[in-house]
Amino acid sequence: MIKNFLILLLTVIFFFNSLLSTATVQAKTIENPPHKIIFSNKITVNTLFYPYRDAPHTPTLKAKGLQGLTIDQKNNYYLTYATGDKNRYGYIYKYSSKGKVLKKSNKQLIGHGQAISYMDGFLYQLADIRGNKQYKLQKIDPHTLKSIRNWTIPAEIHPNVIAMLDDQTVAAVSKTATGYEINKIHLTSKQNATRDWREKIVVTGLIGTTADHVVQGFAYGNGRYYILSNGQYMTITKTGKSKKIIHLNTKREPEGIAINQQGKIIISFNKLNEIFIQK
């Protein structure tokens, strides 16, 4: 009889431990569930990882808003977060290909923070401070996440986002009332970067499902430029031809786009702060 009682007791304990384990797994799954989004061109992106996001009720002055995204040749991810009025200071976070935090920068000058790109061992970030006559392009060490030099961008253009074409050439997008201008900015040993207006590409027609048609990201890959806005992204060739508009099929606000070494789209969304990768 005692033997039967012990067997029954062990069975009950095992049953409750199983319930507790299942509840724990379910809690983790519910907290950060994987998602899938299918764009209008049938491209599918799946959750890759959840980066840093503020705790509930974080004071506005201490809040960090996800803004920009780029990726290096080892598939490490660099995310920018703007603080305060999202116009001057912020942080850069470095993540591994699996979503592990590798490095966090000190608070530094990044402007709105969306304009970041990686090329040949370095990050390039445009500190686009609203109201300034000229913007500053920073070359940043990806290991220390500190600026090692900078250039002054031509005053006649105020880019929203950038993509590096090589270590001396920046493609920079400026939104206009009727579309976009893509300028090539050339970096030299001098302080002032240069541009040739004859290289400018004019793209007619704004994208985006919100009234402001805000630019949310920019990348170059697969032989095409990618311009991101709320609800949509556009791709064009380097000469501005063969324009294609793709619907994201989600109301979530995107905050950055990149193309990895395998030619796959990486896209981030804010608030919940979630990084997606093309399947």
Q: How far apart are CA 188 and CA 140, in angstroms?
A: 16
* 8, two tokens: 């029954």
pLDDT band at residue 30 using 50, 70 and 90 as cut-offs: low
Taking only the tens place, the pLDDT of each residue in 45-67 is 999 999 999 999 999 888 999 99
* 204, two tokens: 């007619």
Kindly report the backbone phi and psi dihedral angles of residue 206, in degrees, each rounded to the nearest multiple of 5, phi listed first.
Answer: -95, 150
Quick one: what percent of the chain has pLDDT higher than 70?
89
Kindly report the backbone phi and psi dihedral angles of residue 4, in degrees, each rounded to the nearest multiple of 5, phi listed first.
Answer: -65, -40
Average pLDDT of the residues in 184-199? 97
Confidence (pLDDT) at 1: 53
Given a cut of 90, whether residue 133 has pLDDT beyond it is no
